[in-house]
Structure 1
């Protein structure tokens, strides 16, 4: 029997139920929806698959200790009591990310320093040596979450946020986050049964995420690395099997159309679509929204209209009247 353990998938507010459905389809157990997160249990293979396959997760955390603390000194003592050689070698690097919702702990950076000090002191007292702290691309990434006095220390199995798929070559100003784009599409229930149109596609995020969903291609296939690949217990053979398994991919017999009135956006979107290897599925065209014609066949329209820094208030009102 493979060892199962607790895992936490982080996401954006509003996408928790979508993520929970994804986890159910992936075969995760004991799924519990929280605020901007979904807790579940699974084995090492499930952890690898969650990173590789989930479209609406930002990162996958593996909790290693739950404890209560009233102040920073109690956090230090609890962290120092962990058998750190199980997770980290003295010649490896690590980083600590702190998320704090508490009146007791006002500054997340101070909490992160306390965790770092506890780990460094643990190794120094045991071995006379210490692991180094590296903010970018550490060997082991840690996350401490504090809500009032309840603390959870986790290993971050993802590393760089999972929205960074790896296919984006360039971006327009204020591009749509890939996880949000996938969430928008999954919320409609569309899986490729008809054409999909994005009349304001910018750098092509919605068309690309839609094509990945339609073909059932895992979003992790473009990633250069996941944090768990640097862990002591990394199973290369298991991960290779997951990475090379394309048995769930399917044909897509319809088309995805992406329009934008900005030639530069069209050029960027074309680069991104090509990088994702989805030129066959996605048709891009320079076309203003005013020229958009209702398709003859059944289609679905999903778009992220400009707002905020991308458009003035007067233009915005006119655009939304036109959409209506």
Structure 2
């Protein structure tokens, strides 16, 4: 029996379930974890999520424990996420048994406005879910949150600075503009700190949400954080495994609002600098092409960010549900 098979067997035992046949590997764009579809004797389907970490450094957060804890609380609150049924950590590795969600990845349904709208509604439902004690900006960990040392604004500014420093040796022609980018975002830190915060997916993209008709389920919460909900919204415009274009207006209609211009531009800057660095290490994705195009126009992008009013749309972010 394979290592994953051992873990799957233990998960099923813990959940009091029996498999009806061998587990089937599930494909997907993820590079860290493995997923298996298991059909049970009772006629149900469940998913075994086996965690991996193919890097030399130590995981900064115990993703397995974090996701088991967070998904349980989100599911209990009615959020559209899988529910954990069992968890196992052993010599063979760590794995969760999750409820199966119907549907197809939104990235494979990108020509359908109704699919985008369903994904937007589901993301808003998650953002509207309140999970104690996740009130402070930070990284979600098992049992709570590890606060960002500088708050939400300080975190974004520090990330922009980190990515700029990593990129500068490889793009010396951008050195002046990269220093300018750091200064511009540092100047917006107080405003970013006043943004509303909630539980974030923090890796929102069209292949991390399954759509089935008018409903959707958000998957893969291993990088969840607490911060500005519009960070996830902006990420839905930028995260691309393959070129599918920007979301239609139906996505924002489903979500129920648009990010303020200043927030959108700050999060775009952060994401594109990050992806420009990732492009040197990972297999090609469409988002790397978008990052390259963004950097070719970096000076003008920074001009637009400096001109973007850091207030303006803030009130629109606070709707009847408490933002």
Q: TM-score, normalised by structure 1?
A: 0.27
Where is the strand percentage greater, Structure 1 or Structure 2? 1
Q: TM-score, normalised by structure 2?
A: 0.27
Where is the helix percentage greater, Structure 1 or Structure 2? 2
Q: Larger Cα Rg: Structure 1 or Structure 2? A: 1
